[in-house]
Every structure is written in structure tokens, then in C-alpha cells.
Amino acid sequence: QDNTISIWSVGDLGNAGLNGEYQGEPQLLCDIRHNGDVMDMQFLDQERIVVASSTGTVTIFRHHQNNQTLSANQRWEKAHYHVDQDTSCGGAACTGVICNNPEIVTVGEDGRINLFRADQKDAVRTIDNADSSTLHAVTFLRTIEILTVNSIGQLKIWDLRQQRNEPSQIFSLTGDRVPLHCVDRHPNQQHIVATGGQDGMLSIWDIRQGTMPVSLLNAHEAEMWEVHFHPSNPDHLFTCSEDGSLWHWDTSTDISEKPSFLHQGGRSTTYFSHNTINQSVVSAWLSNDPTKDRMEITNLIPNQTLSVNSLDILGPCLVYGTDAEAIYVNRQLFA
């Protein structure tokens, strides 16, 4: 019922023991109360964090590192709302937030898109009826373009310079209108986009061509909550799910080159058959039939139980949070 935003110190990355175990306990540095469920959050810069609430409010919290406290720095009350902003029960959940300092884009259950600027009181731009269904997630495609995914299986591109309130392109999963919950774009090749949805499938799209995914990959047995390309090593992709699994998708090497991988205990690993022609990384994600390509999938949580709700990657570290009310840090992604 009472929610908080917390800042933790997980210690020095170099401070790992012989087998990579972290020395010492993570420490809670500070926390602050938060109204409503925390739907999403992102660092705006070194000390500011933008938080999306189920009440529809978007707040920027500042982390004061000198005395380790958090304070609310700026707040857009009911940035998302169903009926009107003024009624007490009018708030609609803000489902996603993405930052490119000073710009902040938010999406919500009300199908609304807001463009805010830090330190500016009013929204720079609002697209009121951007979508007739819930917008579940948003990410930047380029500085002025964003991607959104919605609850009827559509991926849309919006150009924020255009005054029109229509997307510049609409892509959709065929037929079933399976809700899409998450989206990420390839850090170097911006035309490659990954999405995940209600059915646990991973979809890879090439937004330069067609309106349908280039490939659909069987992944999780329940909703996929988050998908992320590794920011500096995008041959690697990570997905997590309601089914309690967290998958590492690796298109970087020919599997025949590393047979030792088969014998690492405690990991359940699925291999796709592969051809030995050394294809480029691009075609590995964009191939029409990824099962022919070199792709290795590892479940990083073999004895899964509860939903894995969120994940993020920084260098060799993977952080994820689960319904067990626990946060895990895996420091050996490429061990």
C-alpha cells in the first residue's frame, strides 16, 4: 500500500571476489514515499530520476548525494487522466516514461502521449487521443521520434516535430491483436526494433520495410514484461516474463566454436540449429528464419518461481526485480 522510491549502493564493480561474488551487502542509501504504484522510472541525469505513477502523476525526484536524501524536484499532477484532470478520481496510470535530458516522454492507459521538459511547468506537447487503447511502453527512435506499443498489438512511430496528432507509421502483429507490453530499439542500427507481448513472443521488426515483424520467436510461457538490447553489445538481448524466467539471447558467435558452454552446470540452455556461414550481426536479428541462424538462448534463472517484472543492463551487470520483493544483480553476464 505504501510505496517508496529507494536508492541503493551495490558497491564497487571492481570489488568482486575470486568467483565473481560481490563482497559486502548492498546498502540502502535513502528512500522517499511515492503516491500510487511505481509503473516505470528512468534516470534523467546523474542525480534526477523520473517516476511514472498509477495515479497518472509524473514526478522528478532529486538524489542529493552530499547528505544522501531524496526530494521531489518537480511534479506534473495527473499528466494522464480518463475524464478530466480536475476530478479526484480522474487519474489514469502513466505506464511508461523515457528520458533524453531535458526531454521526457510519457505514455499512459488513457492513450495519451506527453512531451515534457525538465524545469518547465507545462507540457511542451500533448497528443490527447494518440491511441484508442492503452499505451504500454515508449522509447526514443531518434531525438525527435518515438516508438510506442499498445494493447492491440501495434507498434507506432511518432514524429514530435509534426503538429499532426497521427503517427507517421503504424506496424502491427497479424491477426490476433495480442497486446504488446515492451519495446526497445537496437542501439546502433535504429531500424531494428524488438517488442514483447502478452503471449510471451519476441518480435523483431525492421521499420524500414513492411508493416509486420521480420521474425516472431517463441520465448516465454506468459507475458513478456521487458525487452532490452545490451547497450554496448547489441548482439545480446534480454527478456523477462511473468513466468519467472529471464532469457539471454545471444547472436554473437557460432555455437560450434564453444562446446564448453554445454557443460556449465545450473543453466538450462536451448540451442537453435545453425548454419556455419558467418553471417553479419544484422542478419542474425533480421533473418526471416532465425532458427537457421546462430542463436543461443540461456535462461539466467533456472529455478524460476515468481514473475520477473523489470530488468536493466549496465556493462557486465544485469539487474532485475521480481515478485519475491527482491532485486538481483548478476555481475557476470559474459562469464
pLDDT tens profile 42-57 = 999 999 999 999 999 9
Q: What is the pLDDT of residue 88?
A: 63
Q: Are 89 and 98 in contact (CB under 8 A)?
A: no
Residue 224: CB atoms within 10 Å: 28
Whether residue 244 is found in the same domain as residue 287: yes
Q: Is 307 within a domain?
A: yes
Whether residue 240 is found in the same domain as residue 126: no
Whether residue 221 is found in the same domain as residue 297: yes
Whether residue 68 is found in the same domain as residue 187: no
The DSSP H or E segment spanning 319 is strand 317-322
Q: Is 210 within a domain?
A: yes
Q: Is 138 within a domain?
A: no
Q: Which domain range does residue 188 map to?
A: 161-252+281-334
Q: Is 125 within a domain?
A: yes
Q: Is 213 within a domain?
A: yes
Interacting residues of 191 by C-beta distance below 8 A, sequence separation 6+: 206, 207, 208
Whether residue 179 is found in the same domain as residue 291: yes
Q: What is the pLDDT of residue 296?
A: 86
DSSP secondary structure of 126-160 = EETTS-SS-EEEEEEEETTEEEEEETTSEEEEEET
Domain count, the chain: 2
- pTM of the entire structure? 0.85
Q: Is 261 within a domain?
A: no
The tens digit of pLDDT for each residue in 199-248 reads: 999 999 999 988 888 888 999 999 999 999 999 999 899 999 999 999 99
Low-confidence stretches of the chain (pLDDT < 70) are 12-24, 87-89, 253-284, 287-294, 335
Distances (CA, A) of 273 to 248, 255, 276: 17, 9, 10
In the block, which residue shows the cell 543461443? 296
Q: What is the pLDDT of residue 302?
A: 77
Whether residue 83 is found in the same domain as residue 194: no
Q: Is 238 within a domain?
A: yes
Q: Is 266 within a domain?
A: no
d(CA 202, CA 229): 12
Task: Report the CATH number at residue 81.
Answer: 2.130.10.10
Whether residue 191 is found in the same domain as residue 82: no
Whether residue 204 is found in the same domain as residue 323: yes
Q: What is the pLDDT of residue 283?
A: 52
